[in-house]
Structure 1
């Protein structure tokens, strides 16, 4: 067979045989497996390498093929060259001629020996596990909380008296087996165990079908989703009825024994009316190791510690004299020589005439109690030291009386001296702004409604205002009645002060960004004006014109950087408000493409636009949507080499509109891709810094997209492989109604050539900005006067009588708002007031309008718009 036959390269057992089973072809892998050459195998019957016990299965699988079937599979063992048989899945196929007669048989064997072995081991393991469960009377279960189904093993079905063969049940079927009087307790224990998210164990009874009650023990574990939702609970259940009955008998026996010990104690003794100890019983001898007679009379004192002996004698003598119940404590030597702390209790016994007959007493070893008491005192001491070190106070609110008590000192002299206060009095120490919230929290917690046990508030103490972080838990009676709230308070004043400092630092950072944007605008204004003047001058030198164009592009580039920086500052401070209206997506895309057309053309790039013919609308701010698309297209052009391709496409479905911008540019590396939307994140910059920027463009775009309830994503296969930016916005259908807003852009003002010049007063403390703007206005035929201070402007205006005043706002002596009110009296129309300022936020525009300004331009000014405006203000010739 030619080498190009695929079977030649298969690592599987492949052979072709005649209809009677004689081998005609085997692939190389078969030869290697059987350890024979193809020539040696030619003419051999396939039975030679099939396990004899598997012949019948092969023949049974071949029989349907003889009857017309095309393919059959069968698992058989094939003998390897070393004589070992390995399991294979054998695929049998018949090749027929045009008359339907079989002319060739094909066999393909896939080695499944390891899988077969693993499956056999798994079945054996399952059998052993099932046997272990049955031997231990252990039933397994799995509760899928999403579907509500409970899978159970046969042993568990037997435990619950379900019919044989039951493999599943509903929670309700299992729940009904629990006696009604025990259901609330079981439900509470199960809910607590599931909330704890730890392995749990619950003992509960069930009622069998014959009416008898059996006790079961359930052990389980919980599984939660990534969203902390309970997904599955699984575990085992087994019958503990015998153990429970044994425990009950043992408990009853222990209770009887404890009752007997409490009545008789460990050492029982008696004394006559005079207080002489009578012969004791055997437990005295076992305890002291001394013969019983040695304790008679006052001999028992010999076993008492020498330091306690006289006090013990005095206590016993006083009891005898007063004939009253009495108990006293002392140390007594045990048989091993160790002194144990014991407590003796004596009761007088009187006859019917109330005459003292004898004393009945018990002596109990209370060493453990004394050691426990000492350990508790030591632990309390350590806890007190730890609380002092952590500046922690433990507080308890008794709900029956609503009284507050605490351990430690809260910093106030009054609160150190008085350790108990009424709830109302305690609230008076809480800051007024936090009082209502803390009261609501404690009220909800006391009724069991609150689940968040963490809170913060301020205390008004002698040392001033202190911040407290609290944790609280609700304690209930065994009947479930809220009893007490226990809480811990930690002084976090220093941490809070640090947080306030960080917030102040962040606020100052935002102010710095806003101020930086404003300050960066000032030097741009005269530069832009100078460029405009140079462009208006007829220069013969083309290189000078090239320089002018270069300067203009750099100014525009710097202006975009400043605008992006200011936009980020506004969004961070929450000062941007969208003015939304229905927007035709196609127009927005074509508008953005037109805005970057010069840049794309200068770089000799190919820009393709694909917009559906249908009317696709979104609801958004036209200015901001244009800002989003222009920013993305600018990036695409900036990072795509000359001659590259940029594609902008739009598609829409029922719910959303997707705008995709692809380029064949430098791409984004895998380590930078997750961070492209972070502020100041940039890709690798070239040495000439031609791709420079602040790294805020995509961060700004992402914030604006999210303000439109949209999403943005960036994909790139890697460096040099291009980038795809996808913006998804909610689609607006024609039947939906939204309030429309007028467009933010000012309509273009048509320029006029037939007009007389204006008298223009220009006021700016930046001399370059003022002088260059005056030159530009004079080039248009206007008459100008320049002032660098407000007082100078007021003086000039008295004689100059300007038609228009171009005023900077941030003047050193009197600000531009006040200057505007002094230059034009209330109700007057002249001069027309135009603000030329670096402050361009919404509140700045509103303040300028209140001060009387007619127009508002943000530095660096769009000079074409300004000149067009001045032309409309000119009187006709």
Structure 2
């Protein structure tokens, strides 16, 4: 006979960790007494203005505070103490106990009804707080495991890539390769280069999440950074019959950046623009001085981005279209690398089919 599935270790740990450890009774008692005494002092100071009205107003805040920072038991003890001094000092007739009247019974019933509500809400809030803490811990653990997986995957992909490159070199040694060999070698070379970019993106994503990226800052000319990036994507643009227009303003100053990382940022943006733009289209890259630094923008006339997706297009593994090309790491790396330089990056688009403009703002450092 099949047995019912047993809860996993994570599920058992979740239920266990949601049971908040109870502070010792003496700590709860001290907390309750302190909150009650403070509430009494506040109510006593306000007595000239309140008179016999609102005898327990400050007590409700004290009960909520004691329950939140202790347990519902501390809140209940605070409620008992507060009821005692409220009844003695502020409920008519004052300074008398065990006096029964209709007004007193109504006020007492109203007080305890509100105390029950406050304790219930505090108890549920504490449970929600502990559940949120546990969820955050699990998300942090999952994020750390994801980073380890990315690093491992990227490392394992390097070995087959090295073998593919070695095979390409062996094919190139053939002095008279056939047409089929040349075509096959070209296909393998393109795919190997694509896989290499994916591998590098995976490794950089893992390094950034683990805080292992260190910038090597030096003075760099913006026009040189743009030219190096264009050289990297030139073959891709030619294959798609695309061209890139460049406009670098003459007053753009030098930047203190890591040239290798800025090369990665610009090439990712240009590859992204080429991938999502139609054949024979024009891509434009501009650099100009802006109020907050230097603005470098890449504009395409491609698929565009819906306004609802502009906020999360830079998230890791996000893609505007389901089943799109790539892993959704390129723009995430762009944002993280730009932020490491103290800059910002934004995506602008009027919607689908209207093209996209990515703007990078980098600070000017003397």
The 8 Å contact of residues 292 and 361 in structure 2, kept in 1 or not, is answered as: no
What's the counterpart of residue 610 of structure 1?
A: 247
Residues 704 and 371 of structure 1: is their aligned pair in 2 closer, same or farther, counting only changes over 3 Å? Answer: same
1:727 and 2:364 are equivalent in the alignment: no
Distance 2:204 2:169 in 1: 26
Residues 493 and 722 of structure 1: is their aligned pair in 2 closer, same or farther, counting only changes over 3 Å? Answer: closer
What's the counterpart of residue 197 of structure 1?
A: none
1:96-495 pair list within 5 angstroms:
366-368=100-102, 371=105, 375=109, 379=112, 383=116, 386=119, 390=123
Distance 1:575 1:600 in 2: 33
What's the counterpart of residue 156 of structure 2?
A: 519
1:504-543 pair list within 5 angstroms:
504-543=141-180
Q: Which of 195, 198, 216 matches 1:561?
A: 198
User: Match of 1:591, SS?
Assistant: helix
1:727-746 pair list within 5 angstroms:
727-732=360-365, 736=366
| Residue 539 of structure 1, CA deviation | 3.6
1:820-831 pair list within 5 angstroms:
none
Distance 2:306 2:128 in 1: 47
1:572-583 pair list within 5 angstroms:
572-583=209-220
TM-score (norm 2): 0.65
| Residue 653 of structure 1, CA deviation | 4.5
What's the counterpart of residue 624 of structure 1?
A: 261
Distance 1:371 1:708 in 2: 68
What's the counterpart of residue 708 of structure 1?
A: 341
| Residue 665 of structure 1, CA deviation | 2.4
Q: Which of 331, 340, 345 matches 1:698?
A: 331
| Residue 613 of structure 1, CA deviation | 3.8
User: Match of 1:545, SS?
Assistant: helix
| Residue 671 of structure 1, CA deviation | 3.7
Distance 1:580 1:522 in 2: 31
What's the counterpart of residue 32 of structure 2?
A: none
Q: Which of 307, 317, 322 matches 1:680?
A: 317
Distance 1:388 1:676 in 2: 39
Residues 720 and 539 of structure 1: is their aligned pair in 2 closer, same or farther, counting only changes over 3 Å? Answer: farther
The 8 Å contact of residues 245 and 285 in structure 2, kept in 1 or not, is answered as: yes
The 8 Å contact of residues 251 and 288 in structure 2, kept in 1 or not, is answered as: no
What's the counterpart of residue 46 of structure 2?
A: none
Residues 613 and 540 of structure 1: is their aligned pair in 2 closer, same or farther, counting only changes over 3 Å? Answer: same
User: Match of 1:675, SS?
Assistant: coil
Distance 1:722 1:682 in 2: 16
| Uncovered stretches (5+) of structure 1, i.e. residues with no partner | 1-202, 204-257, 263-328, 330-342, 344-364, 393-468, 470-489, 737-877
Q: Which of 644, 655, 662 matches 2:299?
A: 662
| Residue 709 of structure 1, CA deviation | 1.5
Residues 502 and 632 of structure 1: is their aligned pair in 2 closer, same or farther, counting only changes over 3 Å? Answer: closer
**Higher RCO, 1 or 2 (CA under 8 Å, sep at least 6)?**
2
The 8 Å contact of residues 714 and 723 in structure 1, kept in 2 or not, is answered as: yes
| Uncovered stretches (5+) of structure 2, i.e. residues with no partner | 1-48, 50-91
TM-score (norm 1): 0.29
Residues 641 and 499 of structure 1: is their aligned pair in 2 closer, same or farther, counting only changes over 3 Å? Answer: closer
1:546 and 2:177 are equivalent in the alignment: no
User: Match of 1:660, SS?
Assistant: strand
1:718-867 pair list within 5 angstroms:
718-732=351-365, 736=366
Residues 712 and 543 of structure 1: is their aligned pair in 2 closer, same or farther, counting only changes over 3 Å? Answer: same
Distance 1:656 1:388 in 2: 50
What's the counterpart of residue 594 of structure 1?
A: 231
Larger Rg: 1
Distance 2:343 2:316 in 1: 19
* CA deviation map 1:508-536 (0-9, x unaligned): 22212221222222322212211221122
Residues 658 and 495 of structure 1: is their aligned pair in 2 closer, same or farther, counting only changes over 3 Å? Answer: closer
| Residue 616 of structure 1, CA deviation | 2.1
1:636 and 2:291 are equivalent in the alignment: no
Residues 667 and 366 of structure 1: is their aligned pair in 2 closer, same or farther, counting only changes over 3 Å? Answer: closer
Higher percent of residues as helix: 2
Higher percent of residues as strand: 1
User: Match of 1:607, SS?
Assistant: strand
Distance 2:341 2:115 in 1: 58
Distance 1:390 1:673 in 2: 39
The 8 Å contact of residues 644 and 664 in structure 1, kept in 2 or not, is answered as: yes
Query: Across the two proteins, how many residue pairs are aligned to each other?
Result: 274
Residues 371 and 666 of structure 1: is their aligned pair in 2 closer, same or farther, counting only changes over 3 Å? Answer: closer
The 8 Å contact of residues 662 and 724 in structure 1, kept in 2 or not, is answered as: yes
Distance 1:598 1:695 in 2: 22
1:22-33 pair list within 5 angstroms:
none
